[in-house]
Structure 1
Amino acid sequence: MTICKNCGNSFEGNYCNQCGQSAKTKRINHEFLWEDVQHGLLHYDKGIGYSLKKLFEKPGNVINDYIEGKRVNHFRPISMVIIMSTIYALIYHLLNLNHRSALDESSGLILEKIFEHYYWFVVATLPIYAFTTYIMFKKTGYNFYEVIIFEAFKTSQRLGVHIVFLPILYFLKERSGFNTVSNILIIIDFILILWTNKQFFNTMSSKKVFLKSLAGYILYCTLAFLLVVIIILAFGFDR
C-alpha cells in the first residue's frame, strides 16, 4: 500500500484513486525541473510538442477527437495559446521586429500595430473568431464553448507557423520583401483555417465549408479590425 502525499489516501498502483497524484513523488531538483519542461512542452507523447505535431498532421480530426473526449496526451488548448503567444512575443521583441523601417514607410498604422502585437491580437480576438465560426457552422451541433476550444487549437497552429517565419521577417525587416512575406502569412493562415475546417466539419461538402469559412473569416477580420480601430482611438499608440 502507498500513502498519497497529497491527500493521505491509502492505495495500490501508480496513481492515487482519490486525487490522481502519482505514487512516485521525487524531491524537487534539477532532474525534476527538466522533466517538468520536457513533459509539459517538448515530450513526444504529451504536451505542446505533441499537440502541435498532431495539428499539422490531421488537425480537424485531432480537434474533433479532443472535443469528443480524447484529451490525455494533449496540452490544454487555452493554455497552449497563451504559451505560444508568449513565445512569439519573446522572439519578436528579441529580434527587435517592432522597429522596422520597411513596414513603417509603406503601411498604415492599423496593419503595423496588428503585426507588432500579433501575439495578443490573436488571443484577444479568439472569442470573436469563435463567435463567427459558431454563427456560420451553428447547424453542425457544436456549442459555443466547444467552438472556442476548436479555435484555440487553430490559433496555436497559426502561431506555430508565424514563429517559424520570425527569423525570415528579421532578415527582411529593412527590406521591401517584408510586406510580401507578411501577405504570404495571411494566405497561409486562411489555408490552414480551410484545411482544418474541412476535416472538422467533414459532414459538409468542400464547397460549403469553403464558403462558410471564407464568410466567417471576412466577418472576423471586419470585427477584429473595428476592435483595433476602437482601441487605437480610445487609448492611442505611440509610434
Structure 2
Amino acid sequence: MKCSVCLSEINGKYCSKCGQYYKGERINLTTFLGDLFESIFSLEKSFLRNIRIGLSQPKALVLNYWNGFRKFYYSPGKFFTIASLFLVLHYSIANDFLGTVVTGDISSQFIILLSNILLLTFSSFLLYIQFKKNFFEHLILNIYNVSLWIIVFFPISVILSLTVNNNSIEGCFSTPFHILIIIWNSKAFELTKLKRFLFVTINLLMLYGTLFFLVYMLG
C-alpha cells in the first residue's frame, strides 16, 4: 500500500517517511465512533496519562506550555474541551454540579465554568504578580487546573446527584474543589511551604470575598 501523502510504501500501520497512520479497514459505526472519540481525547497520547501527570506533576503541564512546547501533553484547550463535554454529560443527568444548581439551558453551565476560570485568573494574576507572568499566562494556568478538577470531580458530583437529594451536602465538596485548584495554581511557582500556605489562604480569601461581594451586589 502506498502512502496517500508521500507515495512511499507502507509496511504496518504507519508510513515510515511521513508518519501518516493507515487503518486499512472500511468505515462502519465502530470505526466512526472510535475515530470521533480518539479525535476528542487523543487516546494515542493517553487521556489517563495526561490526567495522571496533571495530578502528580501540575507544574510540568503548565511550564511546558508557558515555555513554548506543544503537542506532547494536552493543550489547555483540549483540557477545557474535555471538561466541557463532561459538564454536558453531567447536565443530561442532573442540573447541578457540586451543589451549584444550574437553571435555564446548558449554556448556564459554561457561564459558570468561564466565570470560575476568570475569577481564579484575576486572583492568581494579582497574587503572584511578583513572578511577572502576564494575564494570559495565568489564564492558561487556570484553564488547565479548573478543567482538570472538573474532570476529577465529575464522577463524585454525578454519584451525589443520583444518591443525595440535598444540595447542601453536595455543596460541601465545592470548597475542596476550589482549594485544590488554588493549591495546584501555587505549584506552578517556586515557593516555600510557609509561603505556599500563605498564598493559598490569601487566594481563597480573595476568591470567596469576590464571590460574596458579587452575590451581595446581584442579590
**Is the Cα–Cα contact under 8 Å of residues 85 and 120 in structure 1 kept in the other structure?**
no
| TM-score after normalising by structure 2 | 0.72
Q: Distance in 2 between matches of 1:130 and 1:192?
A: 11
Aligned positions of 1:128-143 closer than 5 A:
128-143=119-134
Q: Which amino acid aligns with 2:57?
A: K
TM-aligned CA deviation for residue 163 of structure 1: 0.5
**For 1:3 and 1:97, how far apart are their aligned partners in 2?**
47
| 1:50 Cα deviation from its structure 2 partner | 3.8
1:95 to 93, 99, 121: 93
Name the structure 1 match of 2:74.
75
> Which residue of structure 2 lines up, in the alignment, with residue 183 of structure 1?
172
Match in the other structure for 1:219: 206
Query: Is 1:85–1:123's contact at 8 Å kept on the other side of the alignment?
Result: no
Deviation at 1:13, TM superposition (A): 2.8
TM-score by length of 1: 0.67
Shift in Å, 1:127: 2.2
1:151 alignment counterpart: 142
Q: Deviations over 1:120-164 (max 9, x none)?
A: 313233122112101111111322211111110100122012202
**Aligned residue number for residue 62 of structure 1:** 61
Aligned equivalents of 1:135 and 1:69: distance in 2?
Answer: 23
Structure 1 residue aligned with 2:188, among 184, 195, 200? 200
Report the CA distance shift for 1:3/1:96 in structure 2 as closer, same or farther (over 3 A). closer
Distance (Å, rounded) in 1 between the aligned partners of 2:44 and 2:53? 10
Q: Does the 8 A contact of 1:126 with 1:148 survive in 2?
A: yes
Structure 1 unaligned segments of length 5 or more: list them: 6-11, 16-21, 104-110, 234-239
Partner of 2:38: 38
Partner of 1:165: 156
Deviations 1:7-44 (A, max 9, x none): xxxxx9316xxxxxx58698993435523422431615
In structure 2, the residue corresponding to 1:153 is in which secondary structure?
helix
Paired residue total:
202
Shift of 1:78: 3.1
**Shift, 1:167, TM fit:** 2.9
Cα offsets for 1:66-120 (capped at 9, x unmatched): 32233213333134224313322332x332345xxxx7xxxxxxx6559x95553
1:191 counterpart letter in structure 2: L
Contact residue 60 and residue 198 of structure 1 kept, 8 A: no
Which among 27, 30, 46 is matched to residue 29 of structure 1? 27
1:108 match = none
For 1:213-234, what per-residue CA distance to the aligned partner results, in whole angstroms no more than 9, with x for missing partners? 221232123334444566x56x
Q: Which runs of 5+ in 2 are unaligned?
A: 7-15
Distance 1:164 1:44, change over 3 A: farther
Paired residue for 1:13, among 10, 17, 34? 17
| Alpha-carbon separation, structure 2, partners of 1:141 and 1:28 | 53
